[in-house]
Structure 1
Amino acid sequence: MINFKKMSPGRIIVLGFALVVLTGTTLLYLPISSNEGVSVTLVDALFTATSAVCVTGLVAVDLANTFNVFGRTVVAILIQIGGLGVASIGVAFILLSRKNVGLKERILVKESMNLNSLQGMVRLVKSIITTTVFFEGTGIILSFLVFSKDYSPLSALGISIFHSISAFNNAGFDILGDFKNLTPYKDNVLLNLTTCGLIIFGGLGFYAIREIKQKKHFKTFGVNTKIVITMTVTLLTLGTVLLKCTENISWLGAFFQSTSARTAGFNTYPLGDFSTSGLLTLIFLMFVGASPGSTGGGIKTTTAFVIFKSIYSISANKNCTAFKRKIPKESIIKAFVIMTLAGLLVCFNTFLICLIEPQYTFLQVLFETVSGFGTVGLSTGITPYLADLSKIILSFTMFCGRLGPLTMMCIWFSRTPSSLSYPEEKITIG
């Protein structure tokens, strides 16, 4: 019997996500989820459920051609749970039932959102729900204006709801059919900008969004929010310029792909036709990903910022600072640990898939693996044709990417600090 009271918050969060994945797998595997005459293998059901809960967007089967309305609804619900987080959903249900939120639930939200304090957890969850409803509701209305021109009103509404949930939660799933994603709408300014807006705000992080709403001026924001905004603007601009320079696409397309690579996974151009330099640009953006406490994955914008700043400070023999604040050593160490663990995970899983799939190039496999870790969902087109073992490896990669490599490591080790200490001695480095 599992004793939840004695279990660490990290293990409860991992177990919660795993249970949601297994539930989703079971539902998608059942015949009631599939179109008539279509059967789904257990591995493909597991892969789809994992991709949905981890808000990735990599697909082994085409959603529109494989799943019926019930199956697509299951996928949309899994995306919503995965994007908001199991802990936040649990607290929301407690609030709806008008019960008190206990200390254990507050700690779970704090751990799942990577926050430093328990203060204001209930208010934060309320803000998360209202923010989600506002942005997804707005996305549904604007998307409907586009899809209603090509589909019947009822079909357009269903597609708009699914698309808005997928975009705000940085999932990248589509139900347009034939793996075409948003390529038919590459020149539609309204749908492109609506999707980009949902992706950007979904990737900022709920804590940052709440602070922006409350304080409104950049100078009054906390350091974390300033870093999130600065890195978001920098990466979006850098990605747009690099993609425009390396690929034969429009400025709108370059901006869209730069935004989507930040863990969303939509594409308006076939990525299999991109050059090596273009794919490397996308790999970098996918690896960095979104911001802490958001619906996206990756090592996070704050992690990348701290790494870059610490490298500069060490080279210049200065203190590591940001916006007139000193960055703690604990944060610097944690940033390098996260990047190292993420790099090892990506490299090892890429190596395994390369062994299993020798017919694909190293860059193709690396792209899919980084896309899985960053919970992005962009693909060069090889995912549906991978062997079952490769899909299982990618599923594990997505799971680790959504929960974070440090969280996955910590569930196996005690986080209680040891009282044992040894004499210090310097080691020659470099």
Structure 2
Amino acid sequence: MDAAALTQLLSPEGWALLGALPPYDERLALVLSERLRSEGVAPDLVAAALTQSRLRSAGRAKFDDFADGMLFTQAGLEQATRFSVAARHAQRYAAAGCTTVADLTCGIGGDSMALAALGLGVVAIDSDELTAALATVNLRHFPEAEVRHGDGLTTDLSGVDGLFADPARRTTAGRRAHDPAAYSPPLDAVLALREKVPALGVKVGPGIPHAALPEDAETQWVSVDRDVVEAGLWFGPLAPEGPGRGALVLRGTRATAVREPADGLPEVDAGAPATYLYEPDGAVIRAGLVAMVAAEVQGRLLDRTIAYVTADHLVPTPLATAYRVLDVMPFGLKRLRTALRERGVGRVTIKKRGTAVVPEQLRRQLDLRGDAEATVVLTRVRGAQQVLLVEPAGEEP
């Protein structure tokens, strides 16, 4: 989207057209475009409205019904925080007693919306003029929010008692930036602001290395329905339990938080596969808390370097997905193919950790035919390459 497209959409005609469009359907978009043009709607406006309709449809995954009244860019939508996660961010500021939060890199305004929804004053800032304009539209229902076009690092922080930043994490070539120094703005520049306002929160990529974590931060990795979406660095009153690593697991309406114990992680042995296999949630793995899953299910690791846990009994936990182990064998293509064909397996899900096997290549080599489905886990067991055939485990009676 450019400024001209935004101007068209914000005109009475454009806003009415956007509101009147049916739910977006890629298969019907061309037909709808041609019909609108034949009715005399300007081609540029048709293109802008259909683009927004498509982005709103995609935006429902992050913003639910709120997306139907928002404006997006593709990049803005990709970086925007899911509203369910943004609400958790906002709750930290409210619990810390903050009254006015500066969202230093507000983007399209997702986190600012969550903050304002709790009645907090918000100063939303973005260095891109068009993006700031979109945030103004998206925050129009919140009188608590002020949008500024400018540099969040140098903005006037008078009256602000909380800061939030979500630095851009893509390079100019469009690739993800894993080095915090390559963020825009760089992570160190954002962290320097905690000397002015101690209540600082920073959303960072979930792949941030532990060595790059500030010692005074509470770092919390977040997953939504098994998808690891971010890590958050929280400082000062936003981290009431002090520095440390933790995970927040969101599945549906259920939220489970776990944090590294003050006295350290429990010691966990490694051993042969038992009756059940547990695959810890990605946020738990990123936080380095797999040992806590093993302790909870009274299990052990398959290998000290691999994030799989095995146990004799089924202990339902939101921190891991449980499977029943059906068979265990050394890795070998012929033996695995035979085992799957004996079970009539034609469709296979392949999971791997600690092995160089390429799942799609293996799937072709297996050349399976049948009606049954199976899950194959390729991993190391005490240093040796093994294959586990598993199935999802329900709760024991």
Higher relative contact order by CA 8 Å / sep ≥ 6: 1 or 2? 1
Q: Same fold (TM over 0.5)?
A: no
- TM-score, normalised to structure 2, is 0.25
Structure with bigger strand share is 2
Structure with bigger helix share is 1
- TM-score, normalised to structure 1, is 0.24
